[in-house]
């Protein structure tokens, strides 16, 4: 691994055939004030001219190209392993910044943390619906410092994660302690969970930028196999929560997170009973609680059937 550069922010950008959106993001990164950063664009096999455009960026971008299309999770992890900054930002190619002071304010928050117990500083973001052009505020229901155990306990419930990872600056040391390099599906949810294994969060009240909703968002199509991979990542975090003694009832956390992932899958119009069976075969194989597995299956099946009857699925 390359020597870490103190004070520098590594901005990791996975991309695939979104050159126009990628250029918009990069311009808003270049506009960030009073901070040193490097940009790593990890291309997942684009065919739209991304390679030529990035290699022409006059050294402002470190361009990495995957040998085969491997998904954004793979690209984020590859970018992280190749990066050199003391701080890390994971920015998807379809998001962009509107606050040129966000990087510097987030880094100051982390530097001012005397006991270095903060794992990341994050901000709010706005949502842009590309099909209608509607822009909507989406403020988080909390601000300030939130303890790691408290955030983990209420993760994606009482304490939702920020919109993607672009409005967050992570302390690299926290990501390393949280085991990010050991992840397989390095998506935004996994990144936040791994960071919280190692430290607290700080939520800034301002908006950092814009999260786009459009037809090619990954979340618009979620497979059973992808959901199983999320459960595998949940299991790794669950094991660490138990090993580190972070929560009094880690099994409750496991089933809360299992339901959230299942609900996310079921809300996908392509979800079906075969997919649910695939997911539950994996959940049963984890041997957490056969009784609670059965209750979870009944809840998931009932939810899927209710959506199907209402015409939202199938």
- pLDDT for 202 equals 98
Q: Name the pairing type of β-strands 144-146 and 5-15.
A: unpaired
- pLDDT for 312 equals 75
CA separation for the pair 47, 69 (Å, rounded): 11
CB atoms near residue 157 (< 10 Å) = 11
- pLDDT for 115 equals 83
In the predicted model, residues of the chain with pLDDT beneath 70 are 1, 216-221, 313-314
Q: For the chain, what percent of residues have pLDDT higher than 90?
A: 89
Tell me the torsion sign for CA atoms 57, 123, 242, 265.
negative
- pLDDT for 216 equals 67
* CB contact at 8 A, 211 and 96: no
Q: How does DSSP assign 20-87, residue by residue?
A: HHHHHHHHHHHT--S-EEEEEEEESS--SSHHHHHHTSTTS-EEEE-SS---HHHHHHHHHHH--EEE
* Polymer length of the chain: 314
**Under DSSP, is residue 310 helix (H, G, I), strand (E, B) or coil?**
coil
First to last CA, the chain: 48
Is 5-213 CATH 3.40.50.1360? no
Q: What is the pLDDT of residues 21-39, one digit of tens each?
A: 999 999 999 999 999 999 9
- pLDDT for 217 equals 62
Tell me where in the chain the CATH 3.90.550.10 domain(s) lie.
5-213
- pLDDT for 292 equals 95
> Of 230, 231, 222, 105, which Cα lies nearest the Cα of 168?
105
Q: What is the CA radius of gyration of the chain?
A: 19
């Amino acid at each position: 691994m390359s020597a870490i550069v103190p004070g520098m922010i590594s901005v990791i950008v996975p991309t695939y055939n979104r050159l126009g959106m990628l250029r918009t993001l990069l311009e808003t990164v270049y506009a960030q004030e009073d901070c040193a950063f490097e940009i790593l664009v990890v291309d997942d096999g684009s065919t739209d001219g991304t390679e030529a455009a990035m290699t022409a960026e006059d050294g402002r971008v470190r361009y990495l190209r995957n040998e085969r299309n491997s998904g954004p999770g793979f690209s984020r992890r590859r970018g992280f392993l190749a990066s050199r900054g003391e701080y890390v930002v994971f920015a998807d190619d379809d998001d962009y910044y509107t606050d040129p002071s966000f990087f510097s304010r987030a880094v100051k928050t982390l530097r001012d943390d005397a006991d270095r117990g903060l794992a990341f500083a994050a901000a709010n973001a706005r949502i842009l619906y590309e099909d209608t052009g509607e822009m909507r505020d989406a403020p988080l229901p909390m601000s300030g410092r939130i303890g790691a155990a408290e955030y983990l306990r209420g993760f994606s419930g009482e304490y939702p994660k920020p919109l993607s990872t672009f409005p967050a600056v992570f302390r690299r040391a926290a990501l390393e302690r949280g085991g990010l390099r050991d992840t397989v599906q390095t998506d935004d949810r996994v990144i936040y969970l791994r960071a919280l294994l190692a430290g607290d969060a700080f939520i800034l009240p301002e908006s950092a930028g814009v999260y786009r909703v459009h037809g090619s968002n990954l979340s618009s199509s979620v497979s059973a196999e992808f959901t199983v991979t999320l459960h595998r990542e949940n299991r790794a975090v669950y094991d660490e929560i138990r090993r580190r003694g972070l929560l009094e009832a880690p099994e409750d956390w496991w089933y809360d997170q299992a339901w959230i992932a299942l609900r996310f899958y079921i809300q996908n119009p392509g979800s079906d009973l075969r997919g649910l069976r695939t997911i539950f075969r994996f959940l049963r194989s984890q041997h957490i609680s056969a009784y609670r597995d059965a209750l979870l299956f009944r809840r998931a099946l009932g939810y899927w059937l209710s959506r199907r009857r209402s015409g939202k699925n199938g």
